[in-house]
Each structure stands twice: as C-alpha cells, then as structure tokens.
C-alpha cells in the first residue's frame, strides 16, 4: 500500500470517549483530519459539541453525542443509536478518565476507589463490550485504550502526586488490552493501549490540584521536569500521530501492545 494512504481513515467511523477536552479532543481532531467520521462523546455535552464544531471547521466530518461511560443506560442508548444510524464502528478510543484527590492508600475512601474504577476501568469495558459485536460483524476494527505510565510503574517523590486507585485502574487497562487482543486477533480486531506520561494542557487532576497546597504542586512540577529525559511535559498534540497510527492500516500487524508515550520516562 502507498505509504501516504496508510494513515488515512476515509470512510471509517470513529468513536472517542471523553472527547470534550484534553487528550480526547486532540485524538478526535486528529482522526477527523485523517478522514474518519468522528463521533465525539463525553458526559460534558457542551464540550463534545465544541470538539465536533472544531473538527468541522477543519473540514472534518464530526458528530457529538452524550455518553457518560460509567452509566449503563447511557451506554445502551448510545450504542443502540450508533448501530441504528451507522451500522458499524471501525475505531474506538477509550479515553474518558478521571483522577481523584492526592491521598495515600490508607487515606483513600472506598467511594473514591469505586467512583474512579466505574469510569476508568468499567467504562472502558462497557464500551468494548458494546463495540466488539459491531466489529465482529464487520470483520475488522481497532480499539485504542488509554492507560498511563502510572499503570506501569510507581512514582512517589515524597508526596501523593498519584493515587493508587488511578494507578490500579491504568494497570488493569493494560491487562484488559492484552487479554482482549489475544481473544480477538483472529477476528481482525486489533486492540492496543497508549500509556501517556505527564501531559499538560488537560483538565486531569483538577480535583487533586484543588486539594493540594501550592508547595506540593511546585515540588511535583519540579520533580516531573527533572525526571523526564526530554526535559518537558508532553502536550496533547504530541499524541496525535500515535493514535492515528494505531487507528488505521499503518499498524495492521500490531495488537496487544501497551505503548508508553512519555518523553523517555519509562526508559530512565
Ligand atoms: N494528561 C496526562 O498527563 C495523562 C497521562 C496519562 C493518562 N492520561 C489519561 O488520558 C485520558 C484523558 O485525560 P486528560 O488528561 O485529557 O484529562 P481531561 O480531564 O482533560 O479529559 C478527560 C475527559 O473525560 C471526560 N469524562 C470524565 N468522566 C467521564 C465519564 N464518566 N464519561 C464520559 N466522559 C467522562 C471529561 O469530561 C473530560 O472531557 C484519561 O483516561 C487519563 O487518565 C492522561
């Protein structure tokens, strides 16, 4: 195949969850730029609408839909509607996710454990459970789950920058990805995960930042910059090339991978 065409997604239908801001918005715009009909979903409907409008301003094809990934009824309604209107989904990016406050394990409430798992892990499972039958019927599909380097390694520079519920959910996303990739490889469905390192320009951690002291935030920023071999945080646009690669034919023999995107963090 012509190398230019490997990255094109013309005629594909792509769903991104959590597309109202941050990484999800960048993913949605990048996939629309490559020709996919982009279905931008989020529990924040206004933000999802805005992402779809931005994609259209760039000559992309896009729609917006409400989907709280933790809500089973919304999941059923969304996927039934998608099946009825489009009959297929070619690309699913399970991006919606949250983090909770800056607690250490013994301080973490059961409510915060459950609230986060319901979105970060169960939400991704529910989307895959609904999308895979459509992909099986088509005989192809690409699912991209969003893990984190927090799911691959621990990090504690003397204060609670991350919380175990977040790290555990992201490690579980890696397991979900590998097992599902093994189950569906023969069906033409590829399933990979991206494990981003520290990326700025998103709303992730707003809850944690609201509870942290300015001194904690300062120390945390310094510790991150000192540890990243490339010497900077990523920005959402840094991730677009990888998601486009995993979505389409350029990665046709790649499945079950958890790819760190972290300025070298995991290698140092
Ligand atoms: N920013 C980083 O450094 C970083 C690093 C590693 C992994 N991640 C992961 O990337 C993903 C995107 O995070 P981000 O940094 O862009 O943060 P963000 O807060 O800007 O974006 C998250 C989006 O998910 C949506 N969302 C939250 N709960 C939802 C739900 N129940 N249903 C549907 N949508 C919901 C939010 O409305 C928001 O639009 C998350 O899974 C996050 O864990 C981010």
pLDDT in tens, 37-89: 999 999 999 999 999 999 999 999 999 999 999 999 999 999 999 999 999 99
Q: Give the chain's largest Cα–Cα span.
A: 55
Pocket of ligand 1 (CB under 6 A): 17-18, 20-24, 42-44, 47, 67-70, 95-98, 119, 123, 146, 148, 196, 198-199, 202-204
- Of ligand 1's atoms, which has the minimum distance to the CA of residue 170? 43
H or E element in which residue 260 lies: strand 258-261
Average pLDDT over the chain, rounded to an integer:
96
Whole-angstrom distance, CA of residue 228 vs CA of residue 267: 10
Half-sphere exposure of 153 (CA within 13 A, CB side): 12
Indicate if 245 belongs to the active site.
no
Q: Going by C-beta distance under 8 Å and a sequence separation of 6 or more, which residues neighbour residue 90?
A: 9, 12, 13, 14, 36, 135, 138, 140, 141, 142
What CATH number labels 5-260?
A: 3.40.50.720
pLDDT, tens only, 152-194: 999 988 877 789 999 999 999 999 999 999 999 999 999 999 9
Given this model, what pLDDT does residue 136 score?
98
Beta partners for residue 42, in sequence order: 66
- Apex CA 211: angle with CA 209 and CA 217, to 5°? 45
Would you say the pTM of this structure is higher than 0.95? yes
* pLDDT > 80? residue 214: yes
Q: CA-based Rg of the chain, rounded to a whole angstrom?
A: 18
Whole-angstrom distance, CA of residue 128 vs CA of residue 148: 18
Nearest Cα residue to atom 40 of ligand 1: 97
* Cβ–Cβ under 8 Å, residues 105 and 80: no
pLDDT band at 4 (very low <50, low <70, confident <90, very high): confident
User: What one-character-per-residue DSSP string does 29-76 give?
Assistant: HHHHHTT-EEEEEES-HHHHHHHHHHHHHTT-EEEEEE--TT-HHHHH
Kindly state the DSSP code that residue 114 receives in the 8-state scheme: H
Nearest Cα residue to atom 44 of ligand 1: 196
Whole-angstrom distance, CA of residue 38 vs CA of residue 95: 14
- The domain limits of the chain are 5-260
Q: For a substitution probing ligand 1, which of 97, 118, 170, 260 has the most ligand atoms within 8 Å of its CB?
A: 97
- What mean pLDDT comes out for the span 213-240? 91
- Of ligand 1's atoms, which has the minimum distance to the CA of residue 96? 24
- Of ligand 1's atoms, which has the minimum distance to the CA of residue 69? 32
Of 166, 184, 245, 253, the catalytic one is 166
């Amino acid at each position: 195949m012509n190398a230019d065409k490997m990255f094109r997604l013309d005629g594909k239908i792509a769903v991104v969850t959590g597309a109202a801001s941050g990484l999800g918005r960048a993913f949605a715009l990048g996939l629309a730029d490559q020709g996919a009909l982009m279905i931008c979903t989020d529990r924040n409907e206004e933000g999802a609408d805005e992402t779809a409008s931005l994609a259209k301003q760039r000559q992309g094809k896009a729609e917006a839909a409400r989907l709280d990934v933790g809500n089973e009824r919304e999941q059923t309604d969304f996927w039934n509607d998608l099946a009825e209107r489009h009959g297929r989904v070619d690309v699913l990016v399970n991006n919606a996710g949250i983090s909770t406050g800056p607690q250490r394990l013994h301080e973490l409430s059961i409510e915060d454990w459950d609230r986060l798992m319901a979105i970060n892990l169960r939400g991704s499972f529910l989307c895959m459970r609904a999308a895979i039958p459509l992909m099986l019927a088509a005989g192809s599909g690409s699912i991209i789950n969003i893990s984190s380097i927090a799911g691959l390694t621990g990090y504690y520079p003397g204060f609670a920058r991350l919380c175990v519920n977040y790290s555990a959910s992201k490690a579980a996303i890696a397991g979900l990805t590998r097992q599902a990739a093994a189950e569906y490889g023969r069906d033409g469905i590829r399933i990979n995960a991206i494990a981003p390192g520290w990326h700025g320009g998103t709303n992730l951690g707003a809850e944690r930042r609201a509870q942290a002291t300015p001194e904690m935030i300062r120390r945390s920023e310094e510790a991150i910059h000192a540890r990243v071999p490339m010497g900077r945080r990523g920005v959402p646009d840094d991730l677009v090339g990888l998601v486009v690669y995993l979505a389409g034919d350029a990665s046709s023999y790649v499945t079950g991978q958890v790819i760190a995107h972290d300025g070298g963090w995991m290698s140092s």
